[in-house]
Every structure is written in structure tokens, then in C-alpha cells.
Amino acid sequence: MQPHRLVTDHDLSPLDLAIAPNGNIVVSREHPFGAGDAVTSVREYDTRDGHLVRVFAPNKKVEFRNPRGLRFANSRVLYCVARDEVVGFDFTSGECLVAIVRLPRLNGQALVLFP
């Protein structure tokens, strides 16, 4: 069996990975990793050929520093744990919603949602 590279993207730098309701791969990204001025985003890749589908970027309502854990609450909302907050994205439109949770010094790797 030969290894197969699913995604070819020099900007990938994944910190966490989740499978979206549509089957695509979603990753949180911070580049350069650990830098104070790092560019942060969540990126979606098509699983058929690995191409970048879209980039979820923060808006001015959130800080979105050090993004890590990714979770889908349902097929419409994607949550990402970042330093000091949990940020929500509308998965359908790609729009950054708001900081769902603000907690100083929050820097989690995971997020669990309870009904």
C-alpha cells in the first residue's frame, strides 16, 4: 500500500481536525504557530481531491487567538475553542457568529457539547 497525500496546501498547519456533516475535512489553523501575530482560521478541504473549499475567518467581534478544538453542534454550527473564547461559525454561510463563551485563560484542546 502506497501512502496517499489527501491535502496539498502549504498553509495547512492543522491544529485540530474534524469531519464536517458534508463529509469534508475541517481543520483549525494558526500560522506561524505560536507567533503573537499569527493568522488564524478554520479551513475546509474536499475529501475527493483535497482542494481547499473555503476559509472560515474571524470577524471583529472575536479575538480568535490560538484556535484548537473543533466540534459541530449540528449540521449548521461549527464551534472552535480558542484562547479566552469559544467561537461559533455558521457552517452553511461560513460567517463568523460570535464568541459563544468568553473565559479568561481558556486554552482548551477539546469541546464537548451536551443537549
Q: Alpha helices of 1-114 — where are they, by DSSP H?
A: none
Please give the C-alpha separations between residue 19 and each of 47, 63, 83, in angstroms, as whole numbers. Answer: 10, 24, 22
Q: 103 or 105: whose pLDDT is higher?
A: 103
Q: In what order do the strands lie in the sheet with 25-31?
A: 14-19, 25-31, 39-45, 52-56
What's the confidence (pLDDT) of residue 89? 95
Predicted confidence (pLDDT) per residue in 68-102, tens digit: 889 898 778 999 988 889 999 999 999 999 888 88
pLDDT band at residue 115 under the 50/70/90 scheme: low
Predicted confidence (pLDDT) per residue in 7-26, tens digit: 777 666 677 888 999 999 99
Predicted confidence (pLDDT) per residue in 40-63, tens digit: 899 999 988 888 999 999 998 898
Task: Please report where in the chains the cell 478541504 appears, as a residue.
Answer: 45
Would you tell me how many other CB atoms lie within 10 Å of the CB of residue 25? 18
Residue type, 3: P
Rounded Cα–Cα distance for residues 76 and 48 (Å):
22
In a 13 Å sphere around the CA of 75, the CA atoms on its Cβ side amount to 4
Task: Please report where in the chains the cell 449540528 appears, as a residue.
Answer: 74
48 is written with which cell numbers? 475527493
Q: 115 or 50: whose pLDDT is higher?
A: 50
